[in-house]
Amino acid sequence: MSSSRKVVVVSQHYPPDYSTTAAIMAAISERIARESKVVVISGMPGSARAPAPGRPAVIEIRNWLPGKAALIKRALAEALFTGRIFFALLWRLRRGDVALTVTAPFALPYAVAAASRLKGAKPVLILHDLFPDVLVMAGLLRPFSLVARAMRAINTLMFRALNVVIVIGRDTEKLVLRYGGMTPDKIKFIPNWTTLSPANRPVSPDNPFRKAIAARFVVGLSGNLGFTHDPEIVFGAARLLRAERDIHFLLSGWGIGFARLKEMQATARLANVTLVDRVADGELGALLSSADVWLVPYRKNVAGVSVPSRFYNLLAVGRPVILVSEAEAEAALAVRENRLGWVVTPGRPDQLANAIRSASCSKDVGMAERAVATAMTFSPERALASYAAVVRELLSNHDMEQIA
């Protein structure tokens, strides 16, 4: 492997940003830097870091970060950032380098693929969300609108240019293979991982998030509720269960979906619902240990489009999961294969309420152990070693052929 080759990691989100994407990209960069020279190009203020042996250097690109609810401003900011990244890559990439990026913002992979091909580098995409499918799923685009068609046409060019596409769900491969230029050998399945140590954490009466809740059974919701999530089905189930005093909803998070939950609760004031704003990372273990079962509520058509990273931490604390999604989605496959909980049809609050009733009466004492055992298979060591292997093979390949 040539010592002059390097890995350029491109991510709008990077520490000190506290998002899941930032944590994932930082972990990948740090692991690859053990073996290769790594330069991170970040859009996060305060992320810049000088080179150090065995550590990635971080170059900060000027970036404007409006709130997620400000859609027009956000689109403009992401377009400006993508343009700056393109020119930054033209300046820094060299032939044989590897350029690794993620689908946040959605236009970023196009810039990375184009700059890489112009400079003779090898682009790799970590596919967290598939566009325009995510926007169609969220109801922001019509499936066959002019914008959706244009995005799919650009996707065809991008997928043809990419050397490797890393998917985090098995259900994504079928959708990606619809594009010309994509072949199974270009796709690598590397699931995300737990950030909490897997161990069964029994519910404690001293848990700070549970102390004020008198109900016997607590249903939890935690994380970023974005456009792909459905807060309506959660609140609908809470309405249906409001007379059942032994069941209580503990809902925590952020994002546009959580703002909608706050609006609905401000109007309905359901006694069986408690809302908690986003908790600090140090409190996450206590929060996830406070509920008896956890919800992951997706809208319709999630299969292949998005995978909930929070899913693995829910298993890590030894909790069953009630997943709202199609049966063929990655998380749903894991739930059914390992008998970890329930899968509910999207848009059916009555089914969700029934699943919660079933969970509250479940006698399956082995579910916690199965959840922890499954979480252990999604270890950071295993996933990050797979990322390092992909990059190692690309760097050691002297020609521009795609790796098998």
The ranges assigned to domains in the chain are: 7-193+379-396, 217-376
Domain 7-193+379-396 has CATH 3.90.1510.10: no
Could you tell me if 163 and 394 are in contact, meaning their C-beta atoms sit under 8 angstroms apart? Answer: yes
pLDDT band at 69 (very low <50, low <70, confident <90, very high): low
pLDDT-derived band at 51, boundaries 50, 70, 90? confident
Q: DSSP string of 270-320? A: -TTEEEEEPPPGGGHHHHHHH-SEEEEEB-S--TTTB--THHHHHHHTT--
Q: pTM of the entire structure?
A: 0.86
Task: Give residue 217's pLDDT.
Answer: 96
pLDDT at 386 over 50: yes
Q: What are phi and psi of 100, to 5 degrees?
A: -115, 130
Burial of 6: CB neighbours in 10 Å, binned 0-12, 13-18, 19+: buried
Crossing angle of helices 108-119 and 146-161, in 10° steps, is 40
| Helical spans, DSSP H, in 214-282 | 231-240, 256-268
pLDDT band at 70 (very low <50, low <70, confident <90, very high): low
Q: In angstroms, rounded to a whole number, what is the distance separating the alpha carbons of residues 238 and 224?
A: 19
Of 43-52, 103-112, 210-219, 306-315, the least confident: 306-315
CATH class entry, domain 217-376: alpha beta
d(CA 37, CA 40): 10
Residue 106 and residue 141: Cα distance in Å, rounded?
A: 14
More confident residue, 240 or 308: 240
The rounded distance, in Å, linking the Cα atoms of 315 and 292 is 12
Q: CA dist 291 to 195, 258, 265, 364, 374, Å?
A: 18, 18, 20, 16, 19
Q: Per-residue pLDDT averaged across 254-282, rounded?
A: 93
The pLDDT value given to residue 139: 83
> Mean pLDDT for the chain?
91
What mean pLDDT comes out for the span 20-36?
94
Name the pLDDT band for 291 (thresholds 50, 70, 90): very high
pLDDT at 76: 86
Identical topology for domains 7-193+379-396 and 217-376 = yes
Residue reference for tokens 């998005």 = 306
